[in-house]
């Protein structure tokens, strides 16, 4: 009985150690200017709080052993973390600083270490996804800098310039929202491919493969590429499913794998 309890405790401990969930928090106080609405102030406070929580999250994720084994640079970890993590506002607090109203926005990011490591592995296995994420994060960074610049200009301008600057800032906010939606779509696509690839079996036809995975990114000889996976078709059916990041194909399909051509 004692032996059984010990085994259960050890299994539970191993699971907790493997699937740690870490909560990262941050906050930022923004003092409203004469040309700010409450919603403007809320968005500006959130942008800075988000930047802070992502910076702290990136530092934490960098310490994960398996992440280090992927040999990711700090910039890669920062980009992938920003793409993966969902930043939530937990509360906001209004106050006065002198005669001006101020808002403090509190945010959090939940980091499931097991999930993060799996997602980093998926991203690392697809150079196309890596480029998309990097490009999007670069665009987001540029847009957020433009918002900050416009905000500074708004603080020192009077009408009618204010109306023009506010309009420009609203356009940039909409572009940021569109990029955030696009980011979510990319990560969903990664998850769908990862789930559907498990449904591919030896003996399936190319048509059945395409119905599950869609159109391949490219094909070479008898191989059809889906990110980090190659599906080898011989005699009209699937003969081999190869994951690029592995050292080599399975022995029964080395002769037909595109990596061996």
CA atoms within 13 A of residue 203's CA, in its CB half-sphere: 1
Taking only the tens of pLDDT, the chain with its 261 residues reads: 454 444 444 434 443 344 578 999 999 999 998 888 999 999 999 999 999 999 999 999 988 756 666 678 888 888 889 988 989 999 999 999 999 999 999 999 999 888 888 888 778 777 778 888 899 999 999 999 999 999 888 887 776 788 899 999 999 999 999 988 887 777 777 776 666 787 788 898 988 888 878 888 888 878 898 877 889 999 899 998 887 654 344 444 555 555 444
CA distances from 58 to 18, 76, 82, 180, 244 (A): 19, 10, 8, 18, 27
Residue 110 · residue 86 · CB < 8 Å:
yes
Q: What are the sequence ranges of the domains in the chain?
A: 19-197, 206-260
Q: pTM score, two decimals? A: 0.68
Residue 39 CB partners (closer than 8 Å, separation 6+):
none
Rounded Cα distance, 87 and 66, in Å: 23
- Tell me: cis bond preceding 160? Omega within 30 of 0 counts: yes
Residue in the block written with tokens 């992440």: 67
First to last CA, the chain: 57
């Amino acid at each position: 009985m004692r032996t059984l309890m010990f085994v259960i405790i050890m299994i539970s401990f191993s699971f907790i150690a493997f699937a740690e969930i870490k909560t990262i928090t941050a906050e930022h106080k923004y003092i409203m200017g004469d040309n700010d609405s409450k919603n403007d102030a809320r968005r500006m406070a959130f942008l800075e709080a988000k930047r802070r929580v992502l910076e702290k999250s990136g530092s934490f994720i960098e310490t994960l052993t398996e992440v280090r084994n992927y040999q990711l640079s700090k910039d890669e970890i920062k980009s992938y973390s920003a793409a993966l993590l969902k930043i939530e506002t937990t509360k906001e607090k209004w106050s006065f600083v002198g005669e001006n109203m101020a808002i403090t926005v509190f945010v959090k990011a939940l980091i499931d270490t097991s999930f993060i490591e799996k997602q980093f592995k998926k991203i690392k296995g697809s150079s196309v996804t890596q480029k998309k994420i990097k490009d999007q994060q670069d665009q987001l960074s540029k847009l957020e800098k433009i918002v900050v610049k416009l905000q500074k200009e708004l603080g020192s301008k009077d009408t009618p310039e204010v109306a023009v600057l506010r309009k420009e800032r609203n356009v940039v906010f909409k572009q940021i929202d569109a990029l955030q939606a696009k980011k979510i779509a990319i990560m969903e696509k990664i998850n769908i491919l990862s789930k559907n690839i498990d449904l591919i079996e030896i003996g399936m036809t190319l048509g059945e493969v395409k119905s599950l995975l869609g159109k391949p990114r490219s094909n070479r000889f008898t191989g059809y590429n889906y990110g980090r996976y190659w599906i080898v078709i011989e005699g009209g059916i699937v003969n081999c499913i190869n994951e690029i990041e592995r050292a080599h194909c399975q022995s029964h399909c080395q002769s037909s794998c595109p990596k061996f051509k």
